[in-house]
């Protein structure tokens, strides 16, 4: 299957419902979207993608949030908690500090459960309802479980989440817990959790809502649509580059799909498509390795480690969609140290934007690419920050100032302040 920007929209199989179908990105096999549960191609096991007979452009969009983009989605409405419509912050000092023409921060931490995963779940859980399944499941580094638990409970469905024991930030486990998910703590890393939950799903025990699920990525496309609409309204152009953290590379794949559909709809010139630029932590960087080596596939890393637990992933399942996305748009991928991630987290916090470590990887990556001369000073850039500061309170406290004990009297407080200045 041709994942290039200029490929024509393929023709629909006769069984397609309302011009929407699923297509295998490897062999092109097409199937109706809601007649059976499938996550990968029946024929070859390749990744599936939702296809539209007539991809829509900006004129089709009305309303707010993710469902503003309903005409670009496989359903007219979803299980909603008012996701999407997140801010695209201006950061004048950071812009000067990084040394680019324009820098805007798309803060996905401002979604209902505090990460972009909500955009995928508002669609994915609605599809689960359409398919008539009873139990939802995901493997998660944390945010997917938080989002699925919230959307699953709103839809009145049972939710099962598999988490790598001891490797999920406190805020995320608290969310899954309060929203009533059954939390299975697996004695293994995220990739092991994903292997397990895929086997459970294959046995029909639960409906899988990891980003392997093609419907989730449809919801996440709206990040790209929002960025382009807002940026164009403010600056009269689209950004040259979008820099984003990469874990399973779902967002990279989703943004690329959003751009391809706009190109097909005639609303975005191929030359204007923003360069998709992925950032990984140095301790979990299989996508960076593949991009640097010019490889067709990603090699699974069995041992991964980083403070940015949301992207502590060694086997990015969406790599077959994301690698063409990075290459075709003229983007790149870069690895950053945990120390650089923490520096970037502090810099964002200094602009009033509170993010979790994985989110700060985008700014850290941009800084590195700017230093290396890969990103030029004339570029208009958007950095995606994927999750809220409160997701990982321990990381925030470790990166920030220390509380100072003081006595319960004014003189004592004043003398403490004098001592310290």
Residue among 310, 333, 366, 381 that touches ligand PLP (CB under 6 A): 310
Q: Shortest distance, CB of residue 28 to Zn ion, whole angstroms?
A: 7
Sheet holding 88-90, edge to edge: 88-90, 102-107, 380-385, 241-245, 275-281, 333-336
Joined tokens for residue 409: 């009297």
Tell me the CA distances in angstroms from 200 to 41, 132, 143, 208, one per residue in order. 18, 17, 20, 9
Contacted by 126, from ligand PLP, Zn ion, none: CB < 5 to 8 Å by type? none
Nearer to Zn ion, 26 or 343 (CB): 26
Annotated binding site for pyridoxal 5'-phosphate: 143, 247-251, 386
- Is 251 an interacting residue with respect to ligand PLP (CB under 6 A)? yes
- Is 42 an interacting residue with respect to Zn ion (CB under 5 A)? no
Q: Shortest distance, CB of residue 216 to ligand PLP, whole angstroms?
A: 9
- The DSSP string of 314-344 is SS-TTHHHHHHHHHHTT--EEEE-HHHHHHH
Q: Decide: 118 and 112 in contact? Cβ < 8 Å.
A: yes
Window 44-63: contact mask with Zn ion (x via CB under 5 A): x-x-----------------
Q: Which stretch binds ligand PLP (CB under 6 A): 68-76, 85-93, 201-209, 352-360?
A: 352-360
- Is 359 an interacting residue with respect to ligand PLP (CB under 6 A)? yes
CA 173/CA 194 separation, integer angstroms? 17
Contacted by 246, from ligand PLP, Zn ion, none: CB < 5 to 8 Å by type? ligand PLP
Contacted by 41, from ligand PLP, Zn ion, none: CB < 5 to 8 Å by type? Zn ion
Joined tokens for residue 366: 């941009």
Annotated binding site: 143, 247-251, 386
- Is 41 an interacting residue with respect to Zn ion (CB under 5 A)? yes
Nearer to ligand PLP, 30 or 114 (CB): 114
Which H helix or E strand runs over 24?
strand 20-24
- Is 311 an interacting residue with respect to ligand PLP (CB under 6 A)? yes
Rg of the chain, C-alpha, whole Å: 21
Residue among 245, 320, 324, 325 that touches ligand PLP (CB under 6 A): 245
Q: Shortest distance, CB of residue 356 to ligand PLP, whole angstroms?
A: 6
CA 369/CA 362 separation, integer angstroms? 11
CA 162/CA 140 separation, integer angstroms? 6
Q: How many residues bind ligand PLP (CB under 6 A)?
A: 18
- Is 356 an interacting residue with respect to ligand PLP (CB under 6 A)? yes
Which residues between 28 and 87 bind ligand PLP (CB under 6 A)? Answer: none
Which residues between 130 and 169 bind ligand PLP (CB under 6 A)? Answer: 143
Alpha-helical (H) ranges within 35-189 are: 92-98, 117-131, 143-154, 170-178
CA 342/CA 125 separation, integer angstroms? 34
CA 313/CA 393 separation, integer angstroms? 21
- Cβ partners under 8 Å of residue 380, min gap 6: 100, 101, 102, 231, 235, 237, 239, 240, 241
Which H helix or E strand runs over 280?
strand 275-281
Which residues between 386 and 405 bind ligand PLP (CB under 6 A)? Answer: 386-387
Nearer to ligand PLP, 379 or 392 (CB): 392
- Cβ partners under 8 Å of residue 174, min gap 6: none
- Is 115 an interacting residue with respect to ligand PLP (CB under 6 A)? yes
Interacting residue ranges for Zn ion, rule: CB under 5 A:
24, 26-27, 29, 41, 43-44, 46
Interacting residue ranges for ligand PLP, rule: CB under 6 A:
115, 117, 143, 211, 245-251, 310-311, 356, 358-359, 386-387
């Amino acid at each position: 299957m041709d994942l290039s920007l200029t490929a024509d929209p393929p023709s629909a199989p006769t069984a397609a419902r309302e011009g929407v179908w699923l297509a295998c990105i490897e062999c092109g096999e097409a199937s109706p979207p809601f007649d059976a549960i499938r996550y990968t191609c029946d024929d070859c096991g390749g990744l599936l993608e939702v296809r539209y007979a007539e991809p829509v452009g900006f004129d089709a969009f009305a309303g707010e949030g993710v469902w503003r983009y309903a005409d670009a989605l496989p359903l007219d409405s979803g299980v909603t908690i008012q996701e999407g419509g997140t801010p695209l912050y201006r950061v004048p000092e950071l812009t000067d500090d990084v040394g680019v023409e324009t820098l805007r921060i798309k803060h996905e931490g401002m979604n209902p459960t505090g990460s972009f995963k909500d955009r995928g779940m508002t669609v994915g859980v609605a599809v689960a309802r359409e398919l008539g399944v009873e139990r939802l499941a995901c493997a998660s580094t944390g945010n997917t479980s938080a989002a699925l638990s919230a959307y699953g409970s709103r839809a009145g469905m049972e939710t099962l989440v598999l988490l790598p024991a001891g490797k999920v930030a406190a805020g995320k486990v608290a969310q899954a817990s309060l929203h009533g998910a059954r939390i299975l703590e697996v004695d293994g890393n995220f990739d092991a959790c994903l292997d397990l939950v895929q086997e459970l799903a294959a046995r029909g025990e639960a409906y899988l809502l990891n980003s392997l699920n093609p419907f989730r990525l449809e919801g996440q496309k709206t990040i790209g649509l929002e960025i382009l609409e807002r940026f164009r309204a403010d600056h009269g152009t689209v950004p040259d580059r979008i820099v984003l953290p990469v874990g399973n590379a779902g967002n990279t794949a989703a943004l690329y799909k959003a751009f391809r559909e706009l190109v097909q709809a005639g609303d975005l010139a191929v030359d204007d498509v923003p360069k998709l630029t992925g950032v990984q932590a140095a301790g979990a960087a299989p996508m960076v390795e593949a991009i640097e080596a010019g490889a067709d596939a990603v090699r699974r890393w069995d041992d991964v480690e980083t403070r940015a637990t949301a992207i502590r992933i060694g086997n990015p399942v969406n790599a077959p969609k994301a690698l063409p996305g990075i290459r075709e748009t003229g983007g790149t991928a870069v690895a950053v140290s945990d120390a650089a991630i923490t520096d970037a987290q502090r810099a964002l916090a200094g602009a009033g934007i509170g993010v979790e470590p994985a989110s700060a990887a985008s700014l850290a990556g941009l800084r590195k690419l700017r230093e290396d001369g890969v990103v030029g000073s004339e570029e208009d850039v958007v950095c995606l920050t994927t999750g809220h500061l409160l997701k990982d309170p321990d990381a925030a406290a470790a990166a920030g100032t220390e509380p100072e004990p003081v006595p319960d009297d004014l003189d004592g407080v004043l003398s403490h302040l004098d001592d310290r200045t």
